[in-house]
């Protein structure tokens, strides 16, 4: 079992699945990814409750309406907004207690720094980690995907060759401590900034998620599996042989040798302990 140390001590975590989505997911009745989220929360019993966090967006009401309708179409009867738009609300005991009744929580897209700056280290954050350790299903798309990791990509220039300044990072929400996550990956050409992130943090796994593509991460079993229509790019820096990440000038091109890269479509998974991909069946 994993433990995450934050301001007020260690919280047991790792029991609930994480569904991490690269953005642009299908929201119709045939949505494989959102449908998988509904399947996971339905394992908690009849008529599970789902909460939607729209903190990443400045248009939270509109985002909630979109996902509320999508989840209702997929058979969820109870969908409720978690209005966490400033740090005061993240410390509201009544709002935080609503996590107890939820089977799953979904973080929408927008700006991941809004999530961490408003929720990081708060009572809600600690409660979220504790509930995840008790089995709460946590899903997030786009910014809601990036915030899952402990080391979080905030921004970066995808148009230039990678340098150590290609990417800016901050502390994420720490639901998955062993990774750094990027989204809209192939569509926005973000491999350079993920390589830069891994060069600076070679012990963690770099994960790039294409749009309408997701990974289901089970930390207890130390596995991930791929869902959706495109691919997941996984960068393993543990075998890096040479890099100039620490010595190079700010805008000097990054040197990186010996890095391991995998491209995984639907039907593939990965053992997170050995970091070896494997072929799976995504039929349940």
Catalytic residue among 31, 122, 142, 149: 142
Contact predicate 229/241, CB 8 Å: no
Read out DSSP for 210-240? -TTEEEEEETTTTEEEEEESSEEEEEE-TT-
- With contact defined as beta carbons under 8 Å apart, do 146 and 181 qualify? yes
How many CB atoms are closer than 10 A to CB 79?
A: 18
Q: How many Cα atoms within 13 Å fall on the side-chain side of residue 65?
A: 4
> Collapsing DSSP states into helix, strand and coil, what is residue 140?
strand
Half-sphere exposure of 21 (CA within 13 A, CB side): 26
Q: What is the largest CA-CA distance in the chain?
A: 57
Q: For residue 281, with 0-12 CB atoms within 10 Å meaning exposed, 13-18 middle and 19 or more buried, which class applies? A: exposed
Residue 48 CA to residue 61 CA, distance in Å, equals: 22
Q: Is 184 a catalytic residue?
A: yes
Give the active site residue among 125, 184, 196, 216: 184
Structure tokens at 90: 């993240």
Say how many C-beta atoms besides its own lie within 10 A of residue 53's C-beta. Answer: 26
Q: Which residues contact 11 (CB under 8 A, 6 or more apart)?
A: 3, 4, 126, 129, 130, 133
CA atoms within 13 A on the CB side of 181: 32
44 is catalytic: no
Active-site residue set: 142, 160, 184
């Amino acid at each position: 079992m994993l433990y995450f140390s934050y301001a007020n001590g260690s919280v047991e975590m790792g029991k609930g699945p994480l569904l991490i989505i690269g953005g642009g997911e299908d929201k119709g009745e045939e949505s494989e990814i959102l449908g998988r989220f509904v399947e996971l929360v339905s394992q908690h019993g009849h008529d599970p409750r789902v909460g939607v966090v729209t903190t990443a967006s400045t248009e939270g009401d509109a985002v909630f309406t979109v996902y509320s309708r999508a989840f209702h179409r997929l058979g969820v009867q109870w969908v409720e907004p978690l209005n966490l738009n400033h740090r005061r609300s993240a410390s509201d005991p009544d709002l935080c207690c609503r996590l107890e009744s939820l089977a799953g929580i979904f973080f929408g897209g927008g700006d991941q720094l809004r999530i961490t700056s408003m929720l990081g280290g708060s009572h809600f954050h600690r409660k979220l980690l504790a509930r995840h350790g008790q089995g709460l299903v946590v899903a997030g798309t786009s910014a809601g995907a990036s915030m899952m990791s402990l080391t979080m990509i905030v921004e970066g220039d995808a148009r230039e060759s990678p340098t150590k300044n290609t990417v800016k990072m901050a502390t994420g929400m720490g639901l998955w401590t062993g990774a750094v996550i990027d989204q809209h990956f192939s569509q926005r050409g973000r491999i350079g900034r993920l390589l830069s992130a891994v060069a600076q943090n070679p012990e963690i796994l770099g994960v790039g998620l294409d749009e309408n593509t997701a990974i289901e991460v089970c930390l207890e079993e130390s596995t991930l599996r791929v869902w959706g229509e495109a691919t997941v790019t996984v960068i393993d820096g543990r075998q890096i042989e040479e890099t100039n990440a620490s010595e190079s000038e700010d805008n000097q091109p990054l040197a990186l040798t010996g890095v391991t890269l995998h491209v995984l479509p639907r039907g593939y998974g990965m053992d997170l302990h050995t970091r070896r991909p494997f072929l799976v069946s995504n039929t349940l």
